[in-house]
Structure 1
Amino acid sequence: MSEYKIGSEWRRWDLHIHSNASDGNGTPAEIVEEAIRKGISVIALTDHHTVKNIDAIKEYAKNKAIHIISGIEFRTEYGEKSVHIIGLFPDIHNGITLNAKALNELILSPLGLSETNIIAKGREGDPTLSEEKAFKKGMFKVQVDFKTAANIIRKYGGIVTVHAGDKHGSIEEMKHEGKSPRNVSDIADSLGPVKEEILKKYVDICEMSSLDEKNANFYLKAFGRCTIVASDAHDFNKTGECYTWIKADPNLNGLFHASLEPDRIFVGEIPPAIDRLQKNKTKTLERLTIAWEDAYTGANGEWFNDVDIMINPEMTAVIGNKGSGKTAIAEIIALLSNCKNSDDFVFLNKTKFKNKRLASNFKAKLSWHNNVMERSKNLNDDPDITAEEVIHFVPQRSFESFCNDSDEKFEEEINKVVFSRMPAEERLGFSSFKDLLDNKKKVIVKVQ
């Protein structure tokens, strides 16, 4: 079972950050604290050709409200200025903990990126450089084979992102069509077919420096690749200044699933779903709790012993096997919402759970988003039919009755539900949905 009880939620992710292990200035602690301050839930540390700070940043963030993804940024052989890719890695793959030691041995060394090789590259032309300076110089002199690197990243459960759009080190250095308007020898003008191949076979996500819907739509339509933006922060104060909203569990597995469903990725100020939620807090359930009454000992059954159900604001269905409690949850929510159809309840019914006052041993509480509203009742209570019905519930028996009796009754129920939820200004002063529709039809007829 997932540790995220509420299911997938929209969170801010910054999947491209550098530390002082490469060409950034921030320590692991500074990066984490800045990300938390800016409301970022997931960050990836993606230093150039090194994982020196991976263990330290994960240790620092261990008990904080943020998840760290291990990453490495690579320079490849493609493009005029080298196309950059990033490998993002899970914490564990096939029983192997992918800490800094494992990433060095399994990823960097096979690609010729051992610390010894990078230092040697950095000392070319100046053998007197210290190891630290030579390493930081050498990491920008080495390159990897794009396809080989992508295959190794994926071999260990990783995700491959590529710089795209107008971003530095972008794959745009390689032409789409592979047809140059002139005779050239530059690799950027001649690798169109390779570009198409690598986007289709070796890349999972495209990263741009800012939202460019034209390019983003192109990558999605032509190659099935979603687009993200990230801060690419080298100054730790810039961490989280550019981010992507992703609706997924806050880890690499969540990112993988989101990359297959573009609707789960949003670049912009706020996803429409969150905007809708913030404007409709009284219409959005947050939590249902069910517990024993204080005097109950469990003698008549241990149902509903400290049940705590967090409700995802975008939930549209409850799925489960027969007898798994779907009807019980629905009817308890309906009871707490003053449902007018309680005579058709099949669980909170005098012949079932209410028989011999069994339900009186239990109490429930329903909360709306941000605690704007809260309702509590004993499960043996009846709905208050004189109070406002805050949620309209159609029991299965009622639904069957609507469908079997007559089309008019079903239509009447649907119209009643729709009309009662319409803003007052849209009702145009009419008292029923039918009257409103008749008026709209008259307008259409007159126009014709």
Structure 2
Amino acid sequence: MIEEMQISSKTEEQRGSIWRKWDLHIHAPGTKLADNYGIRSDELWERYIQTLESSSVQAFGITDYFSFDGYLETIARYRQLVPEGRKFFIPNIEFRLLETVSTDGRNVNSHVLIDPEAATPDALAKFLSDLETHISVGGGRRLRCGELKQAQFAAATVSVRDIEEALRNCFSPEDYFIVTAAGNDGLRGAAKKSQRSLSISDELDRASAAFFGKAGNSSYFLLDSRYEDGAKSDPKPVFDGSDAHSFPDLSRLTGDEPSFQSTWIKANLTFRGLRQTLFEPEHRVFIGDKPPVLTRLEREGTRFIDRLTISPISTYGGQNGSWFQSVDIPFNPELTAIIGNKGSGKSAIADILALLGDTRQAKFFSFLTDNPSNKKFKRPGYAEHFRARLTWKSGSVTERLLSNDPDKLKPEAVKYLPQNYFESLTNEIEVQELRREIEDVVFSHVDLSDRIDASSFHELEERKTLNSRQEASQLKSRLRELNVRIVELEAQSEPEFRARLVAELDNLKSQVQTLETSKPTEEQQPPTESDEQKAANDKIAVQTTILDDLVARGKDASVRLAANKTNFQETQELLEAVTAVKARVDAAKISLKERFSSLGFDLDNVIIVTTDTEAISARSKQLASAIRELEHDAQLVVNEKTDISKLHSIPDMRAAHKYVSDGIKALREPLSAPQQRYQKYSQAIREIADKIAVITGDRNAPVAGTIADLEMRIARVDNDLASELDNAYLARHSLCLEIFECKRKIKTFYEELKSKVETRLAAVSTGDFSVSIDASFVLSSNFGTEFFSLVNQAMSGPFRGVEEGANQLRQRLSAVDWNSMQSVLPFIDQIIASMKSTDIKKQAKDVKKLYDFLYSLEYFEARYELRLGGKNLNQLSPGEKGLLLLVFYLHLDMDSTPLIIDQPEDNLDNDSIFAVLARCIREAKKTRQVILVTHNPNLAVGADAEQIVYVRLDKVNGYHFSYQSGAIEHPSTNGHIVKILEGSRPAFVQRRLKYQIV
């Protein structure tokens, strides 16, 4: 049993500063005033000692008025009755001060706690003999505390100045401190309207290192603005005590009585440990039922590493060094700092913990690396011979060889930031990985009820923004179609286009003029020479009328055929489009059924889409039939019996045209020469007129390539094209704004998630470290590459030349606010305008693709933009990025798994470490276990590490790994800190003197 207690005691000591109950104000039997324990006897003392021993309180300040008798007898009795006992006792002497601060003249009570190591009977007796009370005994002499009789204790008072002087004469400064009452018999009872009372209260405050009071007093004594004269006050701890004067009073030791709550102190069970509360009053003292970390230890045992053991396997003969021989490191549940010289194995412990915690950062290991160029401990013959075992507070165990890899099928049990990973993130030029880390931290702040089953930031983003992205995709399709139209209109607005039309028109007019001048000399119809000729002329006239009708009907049939084919094609396209709409809706319905099946809706009744294509199909059939009729070639043999007036198909009318034309030629043969000349003239005039009519065209229904068509097109260029182009530009702007609106909806998703993060960032920001987070549109790092892939920089223009063009683009980009279309649209328009001023067709490799790229807005997306002092991520140095990343993990990450960080300080300046990082570590250890590998005192000491693990690797003697572990206040641990982190005590003292620090 004794051996188990010794092992337990050693483990507790190795864990460093741990929370224990302390009662620094408890009276023993025989206390000089208000002794209500009863008549002293061995039985009474045994009862008193056993009550203390069975209590959950681990340290007691044994109190007596103007005397140490109670403390000395308690120590003697305890050692006699509990020789192996582990309770810690501190002498507490209580004084009634000469000074008063209250309106009723009550004296202030003040206590002195003295280090038991220095509290020898002789030292205590000297102190009492040196300290004078106010009681005069004549001859100018005052009664000393050591001379007080029982009847004099109730009336005696002493001055705080005399207490201070006597203490300085008898003890070293680190051997004691003064604790003054804060309640009714203390400073908080000072008369608020009395400047004298307030001044005395401030002086007593300055003389005191701590106060006895209640939980409600703590916040006041942590203030730095307590003094009336405006001087800065030091934060000081408040302790609650049972102030027990009887056995019934000892029930207060449980902490269950509301007016006597338990005082928990996080420290070694030593006076040095208690003194740490003077330097860390806020973080080392807790008054109440239980410190939060102890509650979490009980309820979240799977989130706390209890201990790490490493040992060689049984078959290992030590041929490659002893390395880890029976290593057994218990860990503090709050902050553990692993220190040591370079190459001492600090990172080894971090890597091993991460391996057993199934980290996803194994590729960044520095000790257990399997990098071909730097295998270190994973090279053959080493790691496979050692087994590590990680025990969690819950009792669960993870065990594996050091040559194994983390189990990627298991969730990460720890969060590891190895040095190499840290450097890769902070040195990353485009900070994409760093942004992803930030997004993961932001996601940890999303309430579980708001995550809608998403397991990551990007899953949640995908679900929340899916509709906006789909809408944007449809808008971009419309934009691409519009840009085709705009490119056409811009081409038509070029002077060359109109010039070509005019040239074509002039050519056609010239053809008409030529045809007009080619008309033969007018021939008069000769008189009929014979009945036969008259009959022939009459037949020619009839046939000519039939031929004219055929020509007219043929033209009409050709126009109808073209119109029918156009309508048929559009009808088919409409039919396909309607069918596609139905197919898309059906596909979307299937997807929605799968996605929202758990809601229990019958989406077939929610989404009802019907299409009636019967009319479209009927029209399509009608047009197809009409086309067939017009194109039908019956291989007709036309003769005098054929009813030409009833022919409808173009091939049939062409056959009839040939038949009639041939007939007219035959009829002309018997005519006289004058008659033949007249018929030829008539035919020529008719043919020329037909050709002129074809070239001229119909202004009501102009055919392409006719004068009517060209004149209409030129008139459109002159009168309508500019407004058409302006309307197209407006339509493009409108689509662009709609696309931006879709993107803005996505940005809104980011904005909704950052409110909690903003609040916590505000708490960590200082004047020199002003950090903020903003949901902003961030330009893609590939924008320049994509833009110049569409621009020919060899051609004259604003972006000519590789360097010159890049500088020009950077200059333009620097003025853009991507969160405002009032800035983005002018940026795009100005690029296009500047290129148009020097012929955009020569500069752009494909004008339409350039338009599609710029107006689609695909090159900027909503992202979290972290800013430090007004600078965004891309503008920060690696050290500044690293500091931000650490702030996020330490101060913002909601994950409660242990956080292991390997030497984050290499790129950081000491001022940032102390002012920001140390403060964030203090906050982080309130909600998660932190294990920090460091060689920087500002982290280990500035963050008040509860446990220091000093490691060594003796490379000379077979690579033997060893360690020592304890609290900062432990003398041995303190020596290691000074040696490793400060460069030895003489070096530290020398620096302090050179800095002129007193």
Bin the TM-score by the shorter chain: 0.7 to 0.9
- In structure 2, what is the equivalent of residue 337 of structure 1? 357
Structure-2 change in CA distance of 1:309 and 1:267 (3 Å): same
> Within 5 A, what are the aligned runs for 1:408-447?
408-416=432-440, 419=443, 424-436=448-460, 439=464, 441-442=747-748
Residue 258 of structure 1 corresponds to 277
Matched residue of 2:366: which SS? coil
- Alignment check: 8 A CA contact 2:351 2:368 kept: yes
Go from structure 1 to structure 2 and tell me whether the alpha carbon gap of 1:423 and 1:56 turns closer, same or farther (over 3 Å shift): farther
Q: Distance in 2 between matches of 1:218 and 1:304?
A: 45
Label 1:445 to 1:400 Cα distance change in 2 as closer, same or farther (>3 A). Answer: closer
Q: Aligned residue for 2:147?
A: 117
Segment drifting more, 306-315 vs 191-200: 191-200
Q: In structure 2, how many angstroms separate the alpha carbons of the residues matched to 1:215 and 1:394?
A: 35
In structure 2, the CA distance between the partners of 1:108 and 1:213, relative to structure 1 (3 Å rule), is: closer
Whole-Å separation in 1 of the counterparts to 2:15 and 2:457: 36
Identify which range, 53-62 or 266-275, moves more after superposition.
53-62
Task: In structure 2, give the amino acid aligned to 1:197.
Answer: E
Question: Partner of 2:416 in structure 1?
Answer: 393
Tell me which residue corresponds to 2:72: 55
Report the Cα offset of residue 193 of structure 1.
Answer: 2.0
Aligned CA RMSD, in angstroms, stands at: 3.2
Aligned partner (choices 233, 243, 250) of residue 244 of structure 2: 233
**Alignment partners' CA distance in 2, 1:192 and 1:149:** 21
Kept in 2, the 8 Å contact 1:176–1:196? The answer is: no
2:26 is the alignment partner of 1:17: yes
Cα distance in 2, alignment partners of residues 214 and 304 from structure 1: 46
Residues 164 and 170 of structure 1 are in contact (CA less than 8 Å); yes or no, is this contact kept in structure 2? yes
Structure 2 Cα separation of the partners of residues 139 and 349 of structure 1: 71
| Cα distance in 2, alignment partners of residues 358 and 88 from structure 1 | 53
* Gap runs ≥5 in structure 2: 1-9, 39-43, 133-142, 227-232, 465-745, 753-998
Cα 1:396–1:418 change in 2 (3 A) is farther
1:29/1:57 contact within 8 Å kept: no
Q: Distance in 2 between matches of 1:395 and 1:346?
A: 8
Report the alpha carbon displacement of residue 90 of structure 1 after superposing the two structures with TM: 0.6
Q: 2:37 is matched by which residue type in structure 1?
A: N
Cα offset, 1:437, TM superposition:
5.7
Q: CA deviation at 1:378?
A: 2.0
1: CA distance, partners of 2:405 / 2:439: 26
Amino acid at match of 2:272: N
- CA displacement 1:233-252 (0-9 Å, x = unmatched): 11144332433122222222
Larger Rg: 2
TM superposition shift of 1:273 = 3.0
Is contact 1:248-1:257 (8 Å) kept?
yes
Q: So what's the TM-score if we normalise by structure 1?
A: 0.80
Q: For residues 237 and 63 of structure 1, do their structure 2 counterparts lie closer, same or farther at Cα, with a shift above 3 Å needed?
A: farther
Q: TM-score, normalised by structure 2?
A: 0.38
1:181-237 Cα offsets, whole Å, 9 max, x none, are: xxxxxxxxx54322222211x1111112x3334873587641433322111011144
Contact 2:131 2:145 in 1 (8 A): no
* In structure 1, distance between residues paired with 2:444 and 2:182: 49
> CA separation in 1, counterparts of 2:219 and 2:459?
48
One-letter amino acid of the structure 1 residue matched with residue 25 of structure 2: H
Q: CA deviation at 1:329?
A: 0.6
CA distance in 1, matches of 2:179, 2:218: 19
Structure 1 unaligned residues grouped into runs of 5+: 120-134, 180-189
Distance 1:276 1:37, change over 3 A: same
Distance in 2 between residues matched to 1:444 and 1:370, nearest whole Å: 37
28-37 vs 358-367, which moves further? 28-37
Distance in 2 between residues matched to 1:368 and 1:418, nearest whole Å: 28
Aligned residues: 410
Aligned residue among 158, 165, 170 for 1:151: 165
| Counterpart for residue 179 of structure 2 | 161
Which whole-Å CA distance do the structure 2 matches of 1:236 and 1:78 have between them? 32
CA distance in 2, matches of 1:366, 1:427: 32
Q: Percent identity?
A: 30
Deviations 1:117-157 (Å, cap 9, x if unpaired)? 222xxxxxxxxxxxxxxx3x332232222221133335522
**What is the CA distance between 1:339 and its match in structure 2?**
2.4
- Cα 1:437–1:248 change in 2 (3 A) is farther
- Comparing 45-54 and 293-302, the one that deviates more: 293-302
Q: Counterparts of 1:173 and 1:400 in 2: how far apart (Å)?
A: 56
Q: Cα offset for 1:278?
A: 3.3
Aligned mate of 1:34, from 51, 67, 84: 51
How far does the alpha carbon of each residue in 1:302-360 deviate from its partner, in whole angstroms, 9 at most, with x for none? Answer: 22222221211111654443223221011111111222332332211342112222123
- In structure 1, what is the equivalent of residue 212 of structure 2? 207
Q: 1:154–1:160: 8 Å Cα contact kept in structure 2?
A: no
Q: Distance in 2 between matches of 1:301 and 1:421?
A: 47
Amino acid at match of 1:340: R
Who is 1:369 aligned against? 393
Contact 1:49 1:72 in 2 (8 A): yes
Going from structure 1 to structure 2, the CA distance change for 1:116 and 1:275 (only over 3 Å counts) comes to closer
Say if 1:54 and 1:99, in contact at 8 Å, map to a contact too: no
The answer (yes or no) to whether the contact 2:308–2:389 under 8 Å persists in 1 is yes
Deviation (angstroms), 1:173: 5.0
Quickly say closer, same or farther: Cα 1:384–1:219, change in 2 above 3 A.
Answer: closer
State the alpha-carbon separation in 2 of the partners of residues 315 and 218 from structure 1: 22
Partners in 2 of 1:84 and 1:118 — Cα distance? 18
Relative to structure 1, is the Cα distance of residues 115 and 75 closer, same or farther in structure 2, using a 3 angstrom cutoff?
closer
Identify which of 74, 85, 90 aligns with 1:64. 85
Alignment CA distance shift 1:111-1:437 (3 Å): farther
Match in the other structure for 1:81: 106
